[in-house]
Amino acid sequence: MTRKTLRLSFPQWQGGNNPPYHLGSLLLSFLAPEAKGPVEEVPVASPGNQSLTEVDGITGKPQIISQLNDAAALIEKHDPDALVILGGDCLVSLAPFAHLLKKYGDKLGVLWVDSHPDVQTAEQYPNAHAHVLGALIGTGDQDLVNHVMHKLLPSKIMIAGIHDPLVYESDYLSSHNIATSGPEQVKNGGKEVMDWIAREKIEYLAIHLDLDVLDPSIFRSVLFARPGRGEHDFGDVAEGKLTMEDVLTLINQASSEAEAVGLTIAEHMPWDMINLKNLLNELPLLK
């Protein structure tokens, strides 16, 4: 059977309240291999053309909900069997993974490759890119949760690459009994991930890859590699510890055991390209 795969370019930056994610998404679309199926782009206002307001404790909520609706409509238009999402901040996985949950139900597992669990709510943090996995489970802002017709069972989640979660995150993971695999476990072969696939009888896999799971001293196009950052600029937020080889090995192993039907690449922060773009904007004959 040939599966219909929709590629969704989704340059959302409002969920992280971080304008460079817009350019990061566009560059992913440029760099990715040519699509073999339909391609759509979710309309997102360019940074600088939009100011964000806080509603219900969420920064930019009106823009986020509008883009979520647009993404859901584009997905419904094609009703794909599989989805590739080139983001943008982590919230871009919400509508696509909700579609996959509706299609595959509890046969679908979500492999969340990330240093962070993204299970916070507006009470902990105003930027909704940190709320997305919680919303898929059914917790947090009701307008986000309402987009998920078939809620994600916590047992169908594996968070790989996570370490040093915040207190609320740690309590949430524990109370929902969500499986995790730390950086060293991933580097040592990812047995916990393979055991999870077998234990939960997962047939289909939606993979969310937040690039900040990568070590910022090795891969520089992530938030934590911001040029000129201070040692304590990001507080106690965990920074990535994996290499590209670690991530690729893990994802290839997992997708050999369950069929990959979803792949999100999120939070690409191309600092050199951003600074070059700013330079070009100021040079004579160009500006």
pLDDT at residue 253, rounded to an integer = 98
Mean pLDDT over residues 82-106, rounded?
A: 98
Mean pLDDT of 199-224: 97
Q: In this structure, is residue 64 part of a structural domain?
A: yes
- Check whether 161 has a pLDDT greater than 90: yes
Can you give the pTM of this predicted structure?
0.97
Q: What is the mean pLDDT of residues 52-79?
A: 97
Question: Residue 49: pLDDT band by 50, 70, 90 thresholds?
Answer: confident
pLDDT of residue 48: 84
**Residue-averaged pLDDT of the chain:** 97
Q: Report how many domains make up the chain.
A: 1
Asked whether residue 287 is domain-assigned, the answer is: no
Q: What is the residue range of 91's domain?
A: 5-282
**Measuring CA to CA, which residue among 54, 50, 53, 37 is closest to residue 11?**
50
Q: Do 190 and 137 meet the contact criterion of CB atoms below 8 Å apart? A: no
Strand-pairing partners, residue 158, are 111, 179
Where does the pLDDT of residue 1 fall: very low under 50, low under 70, confident under 90, or very high at 90 and above? low
* Structural domain contains residue 197: yes
pLDDT in tens, 121-145: 999 999 999 999 999 999 999 999 9
Residue 128 maps to a domain: yes
CATH code where residue 92 lies: 3.40.800.10
Read off the amino acid at residue 251: I
